[in-house]
Amino acid sequence: MDNVRILAIESSCDETAAAVVENGRKVLSNIIYSQIDLHTLYGGVVPEIASRKHIEKINPVIEAALSKAECTLSDLSAIAVTYGPGLVGPLLVGVAEAKAIAFAKKLPLIGVHHIKGHICANYIENENLKPPFMTLVVSGGHTHLVRVRDYGEYEVIGRTRDDAAGEAFDKVARAIGLGYPGGPKIDAAAKRGDCNAIEFPKAKVNGSEYDFSFSGLKSAVLNYLNHAQMRGEKVNPDDLAASFQKAVVDVLTEHAVMAIKQFKLNDFALAGGVASNSALRASMAEACDRLGVRFYCPSPVYCTDNAAMIGVAAYDEYIKGNFADYSLNAIPNIGIEEG
Binding site for ligand KG4 (CB under 6 A): 13, 139-141, 166, 169-170, 181-184, 187, 272-274, 276-277, 304-305
Binding partner selected for residue 170 from Zn ion, ligand KG4, none, CB under the kind-specific 5 to 8 Å limit: ligand KG4
Closest separation in Å from C-beta 19 to ligand KG4: 15
Give the residue with the Cβ less far from ligand KG4, 118 or 255: 118
Closest separation in Å from C-beta 224 to ligand KG4: 20
Binding partner selected for residue 89 from Zn ion, ligand KG4, none, CB under the kind-specific 5 to 8 Å limit: none
CA atoms within 13 A on the CB side of 280: 35
Give the residue with the Cβ less far from Zn ion, 108 or 181: 181
Helix (H) or strand (E) holding 27: strand 26-34
Give the residue with the Cβ less far from ligand KG4, 29 or 245: 245
Q: How many CB atoms lie within 10 A of CB 18?
A: 35
Closest separation in Å from C-beta 309 to Zn ion: 9
28-31: Cβ within 8 A, 24+ apart: 28/68, 28/69, 28/70, 28/71, 29/64, 29/65, 29/66, 29/67, 29/68, 29/69, 30/65, 30/301, 30/306, 30/307, 30/308, 31/61, 31/64, 31/65, 31/68, 31/307
d(CA 23, CA 26): 7
Closest separation in Å from C-beta 295 to ligand KG4: 17
Give the residue with the Cβ less far from ligand KG4, 55 or 301: 301
Amino acid found at 268 = F
Q: How many residues bind Zn ion (CB under 5 A)?
A: 2
Binding partner selected for residue 166 from Zn ion, ligand KG4, none, CB under the kind-specific 5 to 8 Å limit: ligand KG4
Closest separation in Å from C-beta 287 to ligand KG4: 18
d(CA 191, CA 42): 27
Closest separation in Å from C-beta 124 to ligand KG4: 15
In Å, the largest CA–CA distance within the chain is 70
Q: Which of residues 30-89 bind Zn ion (CB under 5 A)?
A: none
Closest separation in Å from C-beta 139 to Zn ion: 4
Binding partner selected for residue 274 from ligand KG4, Zn ion, none, CB under the kind-specific 5 to 8 Å limit: ligand KG4
Binding partner selected for residue 187 from Zn ion, ligand KG4, none, CB under the kind-specific 5 to 8 Å limit: ligand KG4
Give the residue with the Cβ less far from Zn ion, 47 or 216: 47
Give the residue with the Cβ less far from ligand KG4, 108 or 298: 298
DSSP state of 274: G
Strand ranges (E), 197-330? 267-271, 294-296
Give the residue with the Cβ less far from Zn ion, 11 or 139: 139
Instruction: State yes or no: residue 139 binds Zn ion (CB under 5 A).
Output: yes
The neighbouring-strand residues paired with 148 are 133, 154
Binding partner selected for residue 160 from ligand KG4, Zn ion, none, CB under the kind-specific 5 to 8 Å limit: none
Q: Which of residues 279-308 bind Zn ion (CB under 5 A)?
A: 305
d(CA 278, CA 280): 6
d(CA 305, CA 166): 13
Q: How many CB atoms lie within 10 A of CB 175?
A: 18
Q: Which of 240, 248, 247 is nearest to 223 (CA)?
A: 240
Helix (H) or strand (E) holding 143: strand 143-150
Q: Which of 12, 34, 36, 33 is nearest to 90 (CA)?
A: 12
Closest separation in Å from C-beta 54 to Zn ion: 15
Give the residue with the Cβ less far from ligand KG4, 30 or 304: 304
Where on the chain is the footprint of Zn ion (CB under 5 A)? Answer: 139, 305
